[in-house]
Structure 1
Amino acid sequence: MSKTILVTGPDLAPAAQELVQTHGFETVHTPAYAASEVIADFLVKTDAVAVVSRMGRIDANVIASAPSLKVISKHGVGVDNIDLAAAAQKGIPVLKATGANAISVAEHAITLMLTTVKRILPLDSGLRAGKWEKPGFKGVELAGSTLALMGLGAIAQETGKIAKGLGLKLVGYDPFASQDCFDELGVERVDSLTALLAQADILSLHCPLNDQTRQMINEESIRLMPEGSYIVNTARGGLIDEDALLAAVQSGHLAGAGLDTFATEPPAADHPFWQEPRIVSTPHIGGVTHQANARVGCEAVRGIFQILDGEAVAKDRYANWALLVEAGHR
């Protein structure tokens, strides 16, 4: 068996690299955001038995080109860049590093919320341009506002904990979360996206991207939100219809948005968001902290060796468990 793990990205945390070496394996790295054809070529040339998926798409053609591939382990939790069904058909489990980057992403979500609502960037730019904009300025106090959590997974829960400390009221929608999750955090549970949007002074997205959630935030759904509300997205860019979001901000229906993810990554250099100061953007780095990288990297690598060594892996770490069962591989 090959002793190579392919990492689709330029680096891996030192602690994760050490774990790889302890098992007698080595890593080979693709360039950042390599095309699927490039990833497939690396898999063929290295005969890698496992992939740590960071950047770039692992589609059906990539999976078909890798006869020795035994496991794909996501460096994080979002698996919309991996063809789960194609992996399941070949009996390849796809694992997630559930919860490992939750604190860092939650901190970033709160940072985007504060930066957007408090208008930090335009005020900073104005001051640097020689403007003193205190006369006539009217800011917004967040305490007492409602933060609407779309999804109540690990990141949303950490976001909610911080938000409560700021005095925000929490409301949430997640048809898959237990009532205990809502009760423990003190989140009011609603039974539909429509009901969630109606209460959302700030909407924070924390759900996966799939066929059911793609562009769930669109012209129609934004219209259901209160006038002057905000959207924060640290989940997946494809959850939002970007044209509709921009139009809503420009019309004033939305007061602003804080985005760490985009429909296409990296986004175009002339993306229209860059001309709108009420949209605060960062390059999908919410979970990219020293601490989170170490936890996520080690969790991703640890999962690989659990699979290769035939050890049990918690079912909630599988992104394609049901598909594996359906294909007769579990």
Structure 2
Amino acid sequence: MRKVAILGAELFEDQRELALFGLTDIEATYYTCKDPLELVEQLSDVDGLIVNLEKVTSELIARLGNLKVIGRYGVGVDNVNLKAATERHIAVINVPDYCVDEVAEHAVSFILAANRKLFSSSALTKQGVWGKVKDLKPIQSIKDITLGIVGTGRIGMKVISTMLPMGTQILVYDPYLKQENLPQGVTLVSLDQLLESSDIISIHCPLTEQTRYSFNAEAFQKTKRKPAIINVSRGPIIQESALIEALDIGTISFAALDVMEIEPPPADHPLLNHPKAIVTNHIAWYSLQSEIKLRDLLVSRVIDYLNGEPVPSIVNKF
């Protein structure tokens, strides 16, 4: 009997996976923990490990001598030590083909709300200010703004296809893309050009060593139009200390974030109560449908891998 350990048990409350595992000769066990090393004795003989945001370190991998596959409950795998897994010939599987519409919708909601300054308007209403636009100026028509998109994977392209019919001018930065691969009306530019020319910037790139803190003080100083910044990708792409300073001095006009450097952020984090920021609790991925799809796809792919079947989303190669 092969064994799979599922961490982040709170994410699997409806136990759909138990039904899937019940059709196989694989035994599934659910755990809740902050640090998987706390469970190393219980995990010592597992063949598969499914994780959410738990850190799968080189130390943990070294101590799980029977491990063959790691399933990441989501798209990003920055919490898994890919080098250590690859050296051990342990497959790392993610689910890149879910929640595209949901995250794009969240980003577009942020973009439209930031452009109309809905969050600031709501705050003024609570202060008793009614019918006055003085403190909200300028608000532009959506077709007259320039939107900068950083990263054009599935989600970035979905945001582009949603915003294009509104007449928005769209600039794109993606070092792996060519202009001919973009829709008509979308312009590929350098990151510096995007920073200088955008009214709103929406981030859709993965977290890598190249993108970590790529939005820092130096980047914010290159902005010319006091843009709003949207991040539904990964928190550490933005250096939060630099963002707070940019908001305070007005280099950045507004920040709408679904992800943070440290999650969950401390209750006294300056961005949580900043008048020029809104933070949602890393829920851009969620809909009833996407949650079911994510669980079923990940579990079925882990089962397929352990059964020697081909799997479409192995992140590492060995």
Query: What's the TM-score, normalizing by structure 2?
Result: 0.90
- Taking every aligned residue pair, what percent have the same amino acid on both sides? 30
Match of 2:187 in 1: 188
Letter of the structure 2 residue corresponding to residue 213 of structure 1:
T
1:248-301 per-residue CA deviation (whole Å, 9 max, x = no partner) reads: 111111110110111111111111112312111011111022111122222211
CA 1:131–1:17 in 2, change beyond 3 Å: closer, same or farther? Answer: farther
- Could you say what secondary structure the match of 1:158 adopts? helix
Match of 1:328 in 2: none
The 1:2–1:135 alpha-carbon spacing in structure 2 relative to 1, beyond 3 Å, is closer
Q: Which amino acid aligns with 1:7?
A: L
Q: How does 1:96-115 map to 2 (within 5 A)?
A: 96-115=94-113
Q: 1:178 to 1:140 in 2, by over 3 A?
A: closer
Partner-residue secondary structure (3-state), 1:18 = helix
Secondary structure at the aligned position of 1:161 is classed as helix
Query: Following the alignment from structure 1 to structure 2, what is the Cα–Cα distance between the partners of residues 39 and 226?
Result: 50
Quote the offset at 1:24 in angstroms: 4.3
* Cα contact 2:3–2:48 (8 A) shared by 1: no
Query: How far is 1:29 from its partner?
Result: 2.8
Contact 1:119 1:278 in 2 (8 A): no
Query: Where in structure 1 are there 5+ consecutive unaligned residues?
Result: 325-330
Cα gap change, 1:293/1:133 in structure 2, threshold over 3 Å: closer, same or farther? same
1:318 is matched with 314
Pick from 210, 228, 235 the counterpart of residue 212 of structure 1.
210
Q: Deviations over 1:29-77 (max 9, x none)?
A: 3326x12423535423xx3321222122111112122122111121211
Q: Retained in 2: the 8 A contact 1:99–1:155? A: no
In structure 2, the residue matched to 1:226 is: 224
Q: Equivalents in 2 of 1:21, 1:168: separation in Å?
A: 50
State the distance in 1 between where 2:145 and 2:22 align: 49
* Consecutive aligned runs of 4 or more in structure 1 exceeding 6 Å deviation: none
1:71 matches 2:69: yes
Q: Which runs of 5+ in 2 are unaligned?
A: none
Alpha-carbon distance in 2 for matches of 1:29, 1:115: 39
For residue 55 of structure 2, what is the aligned residue in structure 1?
A: 57
Question: 1:30: which partner in 2?
Answer: 31
Partner of 1:199: 197
SS of the equivalent of 2:70 reads: strand
Say what the alpha-carbon RMSD is for the aligned residues.
2.2
Note the 1:1-330 alignment, pairs <5 A: 1-12=1-12, 15-31=16-32, 34-44=34-44, 47-134=45-132, 136=134, 137-138=136-137, 139-177=139-177, 181-183=181-183, 186-190=185-189, 192-314=190-312, 317-321=313-317, 324=318
Partner of 1:327: none
Secondary structure of 1:285's counterpart equals: coil
Number of aligned residues:
315
Report the CA distance shift for 1:90/1:8 in structure 2 as closer, same or farther (over 3 A): farther
Secondary structure of 1:143's match? Answer: helix
Q: Aligned in 2, Cα 1:26/1:122: closer, same or farther, shift over 3 Å?
A: farther
AA in 1 matched with 2:68: K
Letter in structure 2 aligned against 1:221: A
1:16 & 1:293 partners in 2: Cα distance? 12
Q: Secondary structure at the match of 1:195?
A: helix
Q: Could you tell me how far apart the structure 1 residues matched to 2:40 and 2:177 are?
A: 36
Q: Which amino acid aligns with 2:175?
A: P
